[in-house]
Amino acid sequence: MARAKKLTKKKLTHLGTSGDARMVDVSAKSATEREAIAEGRIAMSETTLDLVLKGNAKKGDVLGAARIAGIMAAKRTHNLIPLCHPLAISKVSIDIVPDRKLPGLVVTASVKVNGPTGVEMEALTAAAVACLTIYDMVKAVERGMHIEGIRLLEKSGGKSGLYRSET
């Protein structure tokens, strides 16, 4: 079992003094280059994985559709997650690699912006939606697939600086 890190008491910026939800005012923050990398995994049978990798799915190019969906999701995160700022994203990349041990696919989303707030939610949303798209594209073949491990791997920039996942 992984050891829990000691948590420091931090102020939740999306809550007002009386506990009401609010969008954080970032107007006084400097625009800096910020990047976030997130991943997700979709586990499936080896047969389904082979179908995806060979490009033989009835709905078409599974991996291509998942990449486009992930990019679109990053750009629309502010429409999906309450209190997220709309951002002028400068880069989104979606990498999808097979993992025979899973078996399944590992989706990695990288998002970059030059702005006053980070892009962690955009990267997480991109990874999740790319995984959901893979599921949608081949669910007729296998409904028992499962999506797991949506998490932030790394983020850089801004006041809090660099974060890297320990696992």
Active-site residue numbers?
A: 136
Which spans in the chain are helix H?
Answer: 46-54, 62-75, 77-80, 120-138
The neighbour count for residue 74, using CB atoms within 10 Å, is: 30
- DSSP assignment string, 71-91: HHHHHTHHHHSTTPPP--EEE
Q: Would you tell me the crossing angle of helices 62-75 and 120-138 to the nearest 10 degrees?
A: 150
Distances in Å between the Cα of 93 and the Cα atoms of 135, 158, 166 are: 19, 21, 22
